[in-house]
Structure 1
Amino acid sequence: MSRQLQHHRVQLVYALNTGDGAAIENEITGLLGLGIGLTPSGDDYLAGLCAFLFIAGHPMRKYRQIFKSVLEREKNKTTLLSVITLREAINQRYRETLYAFIQQIVSGDAGNIQKFIHEIKKIGSSSGCDMLCGMADAFALTRTDGGNYVDQDCD
């Protein structure tokens, strides 16, 4: 399961970087429901990824509709709680801890980052860590595709 998660994760990041819509759909489908528990790891990863990539003004927001349509089409692959959590993340609604963490990142205030990461890691058995992994990939994608977006205040 871990190898599958890593494979789909790497392929999704590549597909997002290259703008391959069919591959994006395929990898989201592969991640949905992957894992165990109330919110499988693949779903938590996607929720973390969406929480950052679909911020208003982010260049990757153009893929939001693909995520929404795949979730609607493939929602039977996972739990109801996971579907709700992922749907909300796509629509920029998530736990206050995630919101505060993202605000710290976007504002460039690194002061309390560790505190927020620690709080996120407490979510579920492994959900917080899986979400952080998704956010880490979103940050990497932002650096690649959103360079002007993230570097607007840098020299």
Structure 2
Amino acid sequence: MQRIRNSAFLGSVHSRFDRTVNVQCTENGELYTIAACTIDNGPNTIVIRAGRLSGLGIATGDRVYADRAMLYVERKLAVSIADAAAWKSALPNYPLDDRRLRRNLIAAKAFVELEGKNGGMKRAAARDNLFDAEVSKRLEERSSSLLFALSKGDTAGARDHALTLIGLGPGLTPSGDDYLLGLFTIVNLPNSPLRRYRPLCADIANEAAGLTNPISHMGLIKAAAGQVRESVVELLRSLTDGDPEQAIRCLKAVLNIGSSSGTDIAMGLIHGLELIAQHRWR
């Protein structure tokens, strides 16, 4: 927002979808997102009033620039930030007394089992699609190995197992990436016993550059620094401070992310919280 106000933002359209346009900044190479109003707040994202962005003729490579608090995509879209409110990802503390969290976690896990999307981290039935079932099996095996390594304090092993997840699975942001995004978020919770693994998350995210697509890679970079979408933050707040009904309501919003991305992220969050609760590291 400061770059736009100072007429200092310059970039080009990296990719475009029905409700989002991703812009790559010339200065730092990061991806920024112009999102329709049906998308929640997130890192490097400006949410505009439009319901969708398709039909504007925006194309990959279009020039994006700022001029006096306005962001332009060629002559196809002009966005004013004059009345925009800043949003930051502020994760809740891992509670000193986690009994409420444990109860909410049981409800959330059961809901994902019932309503989560199959085929990614949630295993698909072999009778439905053999390929999907095999991918899910590998995701489950590799994520279990990662969690075991973390529980034993095996940083090198955790790194190796995490890297085998990157780029694995269906979706624009592969399931393994989305799972790691959820797990990285738990590592970054204030007071989390897993916070000692924050440098490991950053290393894994940096190494992901050549293993997955730029959109997914940027999500991992941000999650490794504790920056995630508002719906994920609200889910964590409801798990730590709310009741099961609130947790399920917020979980539904996360499960609606993408095709299987929401389920994969939710499973990363749940497994990370379970890892803390089960091992009582504090």
Shift of 1:67: 1.6
Alpha-carbon separation, structure 2, partners of 1:73 and 1:96: 26
Matched, 1:9 2:159: no
Correspondence for 1:60 = 194
Matched, 1:25 2:177: no
Correspondence for 1:129 = 263
Alpha-carbon separation, structure 2, partners of 1:146 and 1:124: 33
Q: Flag the structure with higher strand content.
A: 2
Shift of 1:70: 2.0
What SS does the corresponding residue of 1:112 show, helix, strand or coil? helix
Q: Flag the structure with higher helix content.
A: 1
Matched residues, number = 148
Equivalent of 1:95 in 220, 229, 243: 229
Alpha-carbon separation, structure 2, partners of 1:56 and 1:116: 20
What SS does the corresponding residue of 1:19 show, helix, strand or coil? coil
Matched, 1:107 2:241: yes
Matched, 1:72 2:206: yes
**4+ residue runs of structure 1 moved beyond 4 angstroms?**
none
Contact 2:180 2:265 in 1 (8 A): yes
Shift of 1:146: 4.4
Unmatched segments (≥5 aa) in structure 2: 1-134
Within a 5 Å distance, the mapping from 1:41-56 to structure 2 comes to 41-56=175-190
Alpha-carbon separation, structure 1, partners of 2:155 and 2:234: 31
What SS does the corresponding residue of 1:57 show, helix, strand or coil? coil
Alpha-carbon separation, structure 2, partners of 1:110 and 1:2: 28
Whose radius of gyration is greater, 1 or 2? 2
Unmatched segments (≥5 aa) in structure 1: 149-155
Shift of 1:103: 1.1
Shift of 1:45: 0.4
Equivalent of 2:215 in 62, 66, 81: 81
Correspondence for 1:118 = 252
Contact 1:47 1:89 in 2 (8 A): yes
Question: What TM-score do you get using the length of structure 1 for normalisation?
Answer: 0.89
Alpha-carbon separation, structure 2, partners of 1:99 and 1:135: 11
What SS does the corresponding residue of 1:39 show, helix, strand or coil? coil
Shift of 1:74: 3.2
What SS does the corresponding residue of 2:244 show, helix, strand or coil? coil
Contact 2:193 2:281 in 1 (8 A): no
Contact 1:28 1:70 in 2 (8 A): yes
Given residue 4 of structure 1, which amino acid in structure 2 is its aligned partner?
R
Shift of 1:107: 1.9
Shift of 1:37: 2.5
